[in-house]
Structure 1
Amino acid sequence: MDTPKLTSKDVGFLLDDLCVRLGFCLDPTDQAALRASPPTNVDSFAEAVFRAEGLDASNYRHLWRQVREMVAQAFKKGSNPSY
């Protein structure tokens, strides 16, 4: 089974959603970097979001779970182009 990949468009929608719903509004430079070369798995992507915000995910367990769940949903949608 192939690992689902997020397109630049998928990443843009995810980052917009993270900003609106959880307040993770990344700097345009960080957004561009994630769009150009998105991490290839859920945990790596969620960690990259926290790093871009200057936060240590281990200090925000509840928020980490929320970010991770949103990222996981984006990866599921990315693996199912019929959505």
Structure 2
Amino acid sequence: MGQRDDRNSEVQRILEELCIKLGFCLPPEENLRLRESPPSDADSFTDAVFEAEGMGDMSDTDLRRRVREVVGQHMTRWVGTADQAAGD
């Protein structure tokens, strides 16, 4: 399994956790779009989730902080593996 497959799986885990824990269950086409081309940092990914949900500016809300926390926990794992792969 390559790095892209790993990232795709990790994005899927993010989206599943957001759906289960916070009710952010994206439409299938948005889910696929984020898996195929995920934003490269946690803030951009969080913004993309809100955009996919059709929500406006959520920058200073508790809900955004909660979504960002879930995204950040997962992204630190894949950023670490991408850095290791780049250094090999």
TM-score range, shorter chain: 0.7 to 0.9
Aligned runs of 1:1-83 on 2, under 5 Å? 7-58=7-58, 61-80=61-80
Aligned residues: 77
Instruction: Provide structure 2 residue ranges, at least 5 long, that are not aligned to the other structure.
Output: 82-88
Percentage of matched positions with identical amino acids:
40
Structure with bigger gyration radius: 2
Question: Counterpart of 2:58 in 1: which secondary structure?
Answer: helix
**TM-score under structure 2 length normalisation:** 0.79
Separation (CA, whole Å) in 2 of partners of 1:16 and 1:69: 14
Gap runs ≥5 in structure 1: none
Q: What TM-score, normalized to structure 1?
A: 0.83
Higher relative CO (Cα under 8 Å, sequence separation at least 6) belongs to: 1
CA RMSD of aligned residues (A): 2.0
